[in-house]
């Protein structure tokens, strides 16, 4: 929006700040996701769940590559608004899911 309204490029400081925050977030999410999948898996299924975690990262990055290809076809503001709306969808789903009636989880005895 800044580029479209002023005709001037956005400062490199904004780009560096975005990538710093984005990389910091990913660096905090990756080990937590791996630990969650490996520790919460039933005995003998840890490797499969970790493989599934990496498969989902692969598929996500394929989707990110597809979205990145749209940058040349869309205006900058539309491209980034699309990203913002793509983040609203899972937020709504997560907040809605917490109100679903789920069966009680049984405690798994320690090995």
Instruction: Name the domain count of the chain.
Output: 1
Q: Assess if residue 106 is contained within a domain.
A: no
**What's residue 110's pLDDT?**
57
In a domain, 111, yes or no: no
Phi, psi (degrees; rounded to nearest 5) at 17: -65, -45
Residue found under tokens 């599934």 = 52
Residue 108 lies in a domain: no
Quick check: is 103 in a domain?
no
86 in a structural domain: yes
Tell me whether residue 110 is in a domain: no
Q: How far is the C-alpha of 87 from the C-alpha of 109, rounded, in Å?
A: 37
Q: What are the mean pLDDT values of the chain's consecutive 10-residue runs (111 residues total)? A: 78 88 86 85 86 92 91 85 87 85 62 55
> What's the confidence (pLDDT) of residue 42?
83
The range of the structural domain enclosing residue 56 comes to 2-97
| 83 contacts 70 by C-beta, under 8 angstroms | no
State pTM to two decimals: 0.61
């Amino acid at each position: 929006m800044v580029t479209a309204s002023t005709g001037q490029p956005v400062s490199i400081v904004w780009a560096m700040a975005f990538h710093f925050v984005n990389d910091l977030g990913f660096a905090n999410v990756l080990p937590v996701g791996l630990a969650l999948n490996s520790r919460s898996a039933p005995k003998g299924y840890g490797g499969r769940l970790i493989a599934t975690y990496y498969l989902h990262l692969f598929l996500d990055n394929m989707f990110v590559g597809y979205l990145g290809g749209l940058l040349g076809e869309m205006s900058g503001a539309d491209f980034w608004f699309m990203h913002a709306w793509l983040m609203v969808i899972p937020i709504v789903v997560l907040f809605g899911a917490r109100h679903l009636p789920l069966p009680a989880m049984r405690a798994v005895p320690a090995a």
